Homo-oligomer: A and B are copies of this chain.
Amino acid sequence: MMAAALTTAELEQILVREFPQSSHLDLEIEQAGDMTARLRMPINDSQLRPGGTVSGPTLFWLADVGLYVAVMAMVGPKTQSVTTSITVNFLRLPSTAGLIAEVKLLKLGRRLAVGEVSLFSDGMADPVAHVTGTYALPPEA
């Protein structure tokens, strides 16, 4: 077990700076550290699609931010990190309830981090999407 490099409050400050849109979204980092993270996000009308389901880019965004948070929680504020690839499998239509992201890092190397994210609609037992992603970490100064 490794200690988290940043608290959830510090991580939320980084998010607001790096992802300015997130400040409108009431995104909450419930937990981050130990190679995992858990985020929660309410859904607003602009993220809905006809039929009352959450849009794909909203799912993508939450998974991407979730991986970023899980990595930053371990390595500190290396905001030069960039997503290099993401694969999303859409499993079920989300409800209009808030989204929960459960993030697990599969590898945290010096240069690459790889993680997976399960996305849930609040109150649904089965995930609405599964995401794997890779982050390139900046070289040591």
CB nearest to A91 among chain B residues: B107
Pick the residue among B21, B49, B89 that contacts A114 (CB under 8 A): B89
Number of interface residues of A (CB under 8 A): 39
Flag whether A84 is at the interface (Cβ < 8 A).
yes
The 6 closest A-B pairs by CB, nearest first: A57-B61, A57-B57, A87-B87, A91-B107, A60-B60, A85-B89
CB nearest to A64 among chain B residues: B56
**Whole-angstrom distance from the CB of A81 to the nearest CB of chain B?**
12
- B112 to A18, Cβ gap below 8 A? no
**Whole-angstrom distance from the CB of A93 to the nearest CB of chain B?**
8
Copies of this protein, total: 4
* A residues lining the B interface (CB < 8 Å): 17-21, 46, 49-50, 55-58, 60-61, 64, 82-93, 106-107, 111-112, 114, 116, 126-127, 130, 132, 134, 136
CA distance in complex: A18, B130 (Å) = 23
- B86 to A88, Cβ gap below 8 A? yes
Give the chain B neighbours of A88 by CB distance below 8 A. Answer: 85-87
CA distance in complex: A112, B85 (Å) = 11
Pick the residue among B19, B106, B132 that contacts A49 (CB under 8 A): B19
CA distance in complex: A39, B49 (Å) = 21
Contacts A85-B87, A106-B127, A116-B130 known; A18 to B60 CB distance under 8 Å? no
CB nearest to A118 among chain B residues: B106
